[in-house]
């Protein structure tokens, strides 16, 4: 039995991320007392919504050199071999492997590749909705959240601080606000 998703305006089809109306951001603990936030300016992706929503899939890529924490000196360090090694690893990739209901939301699982290391991650997915846009097309919106351990992906820079702990935390909170456009 095929069950379609209970979303008004739901459409099965192929969708492209709209980078102008989407955002990929992160937050990581800094100096053990606060969090630094940043975003990536260059990313893209395609999602395919199936007749049965839980059979839908997504593939996304991101340019780690587009990191922006509002501090160019810090961004240059993040791009370096201490963190992202963007010259050696110019692309990160996510390929979904499953989607399942979890209460009022969904869990999107997939393989995330950072610095040549692939790990299975689970993103908490919230469906924003489906509907027409002012250009005669159709749009969909999603929010996805996950927390990953940067060391699992070979991002293992650790600088101890005098008061104890490390300059940069291991846990990284990811938030993706994705608006996608249905292909015609």
DSSP 34-54: EEEEEEES-EEEEEEE-SSGG
Q: Please give the average per-residue pLDDT across 15-33, as a whole number.
A: 88
SS3 167: coil
Furthest-apart CA atoms within the chain: distance in Å: 61
Residue 5: the pLDDT is 55
Instruction: For residues 26 and 46, give the distance between their C-alpha atoms in angstroms, rounded to a whole number.
Output: 21
Domain 13-182 sits in which CATH superfamily? Answer: Lipid/polyisoprenoid-binding, YceI-like (2.40.128.110)
Structural tokens at position 102: 């979890």
SS3 162: coil
Q: 73-114: per-residue pLDDT in tens?
A: 999 999 999 999 999 999 999 999 999 998 878 999 999 999
Q: Long-range contact list for 133-141, CB < 8 A, 24+ apart? A: 133/181, 137/181, 137/182, 137/184, 138/9, 138/11, 138/181, 138/182, 139/18, 139/179, 139/180, 139/181, 139/182, 140/11, 140/15, 140/47, 140/49, 140/179, 140/180, 140/182, 141/177, 141/178, 141/179, 141/180
Query: Any idea where the domains of the chain sit in the sequence?
Result: 13-182
Structural tokens at position 68: 């922006």
- pTM, to two decimals: 0.91
Closest CA to 47 of 32, 55, 37, 57: 57
Q: Please give the average per-residue pLDDT across 60-69, as a whole number.
A: 98
Closest CA to 23 of 127, 142, 106, 116: 142
């Amino acid at each position: 039995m095929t069950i379609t998703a209970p979303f008004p305006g739901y459409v099965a089809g192929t969708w492209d991320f709209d980078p102008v109306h989407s955002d990929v951001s992160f937050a990581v603990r800094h100096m053990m007392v606060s969090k630094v936030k940043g975003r990536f300016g260059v990313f893209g992706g395609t999602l395919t919504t199936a007749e049965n929503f839980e059979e839908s899939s997504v593939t996304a890529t991101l340019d780690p050199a587009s990191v922006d924490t509002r501090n160019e000196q810090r961004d240059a360090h993040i791009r370096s071999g201490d963190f992202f090694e963007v010259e050696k690893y110019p692309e990160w990739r996510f390929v979904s492997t499953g989607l399942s209901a979890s209460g009022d939301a969904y869990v999107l699982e997939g393989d995330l590749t950072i610095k040549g290391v692939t790990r299975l991650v689970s993103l908490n997915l919230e469906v924003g909705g489906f509907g027409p846009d002012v250009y005669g097309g159709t749009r969909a919106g999603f929010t996805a959240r996950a927390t990953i351990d940067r060391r699992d992906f070979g991002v293992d820079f650790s600088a101890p601080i005098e008061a104890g702990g490390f300059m940069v935390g291991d846990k990284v909170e990811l938030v993706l606000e994705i608006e996608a456009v249905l292909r015609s």
